[in-house]
Amino acid sequence: MRSRPEPPSDPAEPNSPAARGFVVAGHALAAPRAAPGLHVVATPIGNLGDITLRALETLAGVDLIACEDTRVTRKLLERFDIGTRLTPYHEHNAAEARPAIMRRLAGGEAVALVSDAGTPLISDPGFKLVREVAAAGLAVHTLPGPSSVLAALTLAALPTDRFFFEGFLPAREVARRTRIGELSRLDATLVLLEAGSRVGDTLRDLAQGLGPRDAAVCRELTKLHEEVRRDTLTALAAVADGLETRGEFVLVIGPPARGADIMPQAALDALLRARLKQDSVKDAVAHAVEASGRPRREVYARALELAKETRDDQA
C-alpha cells in the first residue's frame, strides 16, 4: 500500500496541505487543512467501506479528533493511513474534556467529533459540545453519513413517513414497561436500540405493551453477520430465547393500527363493563385487547379503574 504524501521538509509549515492526507485503495490523496470549527463526522456502523471521501478528507485535515474510544477510532484511521491526533470525549469525561476542546476551537483550530459508530449526537454526549460551540458563535460543520437508525428503517419494511427514535429503553423492568406504555400512544414507527443481553426481555415487554404490531429485529447491520427478522411482536417475543444475542441490535416497531381498527374509548369501556360482570379482570382484558386493537397495558389499566368504580358503587 502506498503511504500518504510526505510532510514538507520546512518545519515552519507543519499544517500545509501537503502534510495531510489519506490512502484509499492504494491511492494516496492530499487533504487540505479543514476550516476552523467543529466538524461532526459520521463514521461507519460496521463496514468501513461506508465512510465517505469527504469524511476521510476532513479527518485527515483537522487538528484534532474527539472520539468516544481512541482504540476504536484509531482502527479506522489506520485503515486509511490518517495520522491525526486523537483525544477521548465520552459520557464519563465530557464535562472535563469540553473546556479543552473549546479552547482549541476558540484559538482557530479545526476539531472533528466522531462516535464509535454512526452519526455523533445520537445516543452520545456530543450535543452538549455542539450546543456550547454554537453558543460561543463558533462554526459547526456536519458531514452526514452512516446511521444505524436509518439503516434499520430501510430494512424493516415498515412505514417510514413518521418515526420516533427512542434510543435505549430503561434497563429495569418496571421502568421499561412504564416507558413502553407511554410510547404506545405515539402514532409513528418506533426505533429502539438494545443490548443483546436484554433483547429477549425487551421483546416480551414490547409484545405485552404494544400488542401484535409488525416489527423487525435488526442485528449487526452492515457487518458480516447482518441479520433482519420481520414478524409481529408477538411472534418475535415467542422466539426471543432462541435469538443470537451477540452484536448490536436495532428494533423497529410499526405504528398502531389506525381508524376503524382502533376501538373508540366509549366502546372499549362498554365492552369491559360487560365482560367484567362475568369474567375475571385477566380474562376481560384478554378479550378486550383482541377486540379493540389497543395495547394490553392500556386496556388493563382501564379495566382496573372500571372494576374499582363498580366496587365503589356497590359499597
How far does the chain reach from its first CA to its final CA, in angstroms? Answer: 86
Residue recorded with cell 362475568: 278
CATH superfamily, region 149-256:
Tetrapyrrole methylase, C-terminal domain (3.30.950.10)
Residues sharing a CB contact under 8 Å with residue 307, sequence separation 6 or more, in sequence order: 276, 281
Q: Name 141's bridge partners.
A: 39
Question: What are the pLDDT digits (tens) for 139-181?
Answer: 999 999 999 999 999 999 999 999 999 999 999 988 898 898 8
Question: What are the pLDDT digits (tens) for 72-125?
Answer: 999 999 999 999 999 999 999 999 999 999 999 999 999 999 999 999 998 777
Give the CA diameter of the chain. 94
Task: Please report the pLDDT score of residue 184 as a whole number.
Answer: 84
What phi and psi values does residue 228 have, to the nearest 5 degrees?
-130, 125
pLDDT bin (cut points 50, 70, 90) of residue 261 is low
CATH superfamily, region 17-146:
Tetrapyrrole methylase, N-terminal domain (3.40.1010.10)
Task: Please report the pLDDT score of residue 13 as a whole number.
Answer: 39
Compute the distance between CA of residue 162 and CA of residue 270 in angstroms, rounded to an integer: 32
Task: Please report the pLDDT score of residue 315 as a whole number.
Answer: 58
- Compute the mean pLDDT over every residue in the chain, rounded to the nearest whole number: 89
Amino acid at 241: D
Q: Do domains 17-146 and 149-256 have the same CATH topology?
A: no
Task: Please report the pLDDT score of residue 124 as a whole number.
Answer: 74
Q: Which residue ranges make up each domain of the chain? A: 17-146, 149-256, 260-314
